[in-house]
């Protein structure tokens, strides 16, 4: 029987996100962000094939997905596949696998779904082929694929800076519950950063991010740009704030909104109320680390 692993890929929330102006060399934006992984997860079933086999990949939506879209991208553009191919290049050997990826995390929602799939693929291949590379090497491989992937190798709670390559894991538990809201609004990442630059890129504020970790206000430097790109997102955000009486935040470049709650029971009740009042998909979530799923 061929060895197989079920690997989970958790979504991430940007609890606090500061963005700096683009660098001169490549036009990339440095960030400082407090990121937390939550228990909305894609599932990857990765099977090791015989050494002379050709790898094959399948991507589909899980039956529990709240917001689906056409899987219309070339399979070689999928980040999980890119991660597999990058690991083959790094190790200098073929690592034949069969991948079945079942997605729950919305595409383009600012939750890092594709990046988490890539991180899960790296973890699965490291285990299936007994590579024993460790987190640092996997993060090195990941850094060439996407800026969220190094953090998502381990997940949990961390301050992520630079272009995603610097991950400062936070030891203290993050026990915050949340409600995720999935609008229909579209927030293409390139457009969001274009709006951000047009408004006058701000300086990085690491102190504000660390203050958020210590109980200070949550914030997102891209929220105004997301509202410019999708005004209906800002309208829904304001309406939910009026309904719940608490701040509603944007994760990443959007379009997912989230509210912080004290308990799982409270998160479940608020998710039900938002879905009923605003007719939009919601889900209560809690923090989770990749080692624990």
Choosing from 12, 66, 82, 103, the catalytic residue is: 12
Query: Would you say 65 and 103 are in contact if contact means Cβ atoms under 8 Å apart?
Result: yes
| DSSP strands (E only) in 147-268 | 157-162, 166-169, 177-181, 219-220, 249-250, 257-261
Query: Would you say 255 and 183 are in contact if contact means Cβ atoms under 8 Å apart?
Result: yes
Choosing from 23, 42, 148, 275, the catalytic residue is: 148
Rounded CA-CA distance 169/159 in Å is 7
12 is catalytic: yes
Query: Would you say 230 and 185 are in contact if contact means Cβ atoms under 8 Å apart?
Result: yes
148 is catalytic: yes
Rounded CA-CA distance 2/55 in Å is 14
The residue with tokens 């850094």 is 143
Nearest Cα to Cα of residue 46 among 87, 12, 81: 81
- The catalytic residue positions are 12, 148
């Amino acid at each position: 029987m061929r060895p197989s692993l079920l690997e989970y890929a958790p979504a991430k929330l940007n609890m606090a996100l500061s963005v700096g102006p683009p660098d001169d060399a490549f036009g990339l934006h440095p960030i400082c962000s407090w990121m937390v992984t939550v228990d909305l997860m894609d599932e990857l079933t990765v099977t090791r094939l015989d050494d002379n086999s050709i790898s094959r990949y399948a991507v589909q939506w899980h039956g529990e997905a709240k917001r689906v879209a056409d899987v219309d991208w070339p399979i070689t553009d999928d980040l999980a596949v890119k991660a597999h191919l990058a690991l083959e290049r790094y190790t200098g050997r073929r690592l034949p696998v069969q991948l079945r990826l079942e997605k729950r995390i919305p595409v383009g929602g600012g939750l890092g779904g594709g990046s988490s799939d890539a991180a899960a693929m790296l973890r699965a291949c490291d285990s299936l082929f007994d590579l024993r590379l460790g987190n640092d090497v996997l993060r090195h491989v990941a850094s060439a694929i996407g800026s969220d992937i190094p953090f998502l190798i381990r997940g949990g709670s961390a301050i992520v800076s630079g272009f995603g390559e610097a991950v400062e894991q936070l030891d203290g538990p993050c026990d915050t519950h949340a409600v995720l809201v999935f609008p229909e609004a579209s927030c293409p990442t390139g457009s969001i950063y274009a709006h951000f630059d047009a408004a006058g890129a701000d300086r990085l504020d690491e102190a504000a991010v660390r203050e958020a970790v210590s109980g200070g206000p949550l914030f997102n430097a891209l929220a105004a740009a997301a509202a410019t790109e999708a005004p209906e997102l800002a309208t829904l955000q304001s309406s939910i704030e009026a309904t719940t009486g608490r701040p509603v935040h944007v994760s990443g470049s959007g379009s997912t909104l989230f509210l912080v709650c004290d308990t799982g029971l409270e998160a479940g009740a608020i998710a039900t109320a938002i879905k009923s009042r605003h007719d939009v998909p919601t889900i209560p979530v809690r923090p989770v680390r990749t080692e624990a799923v």
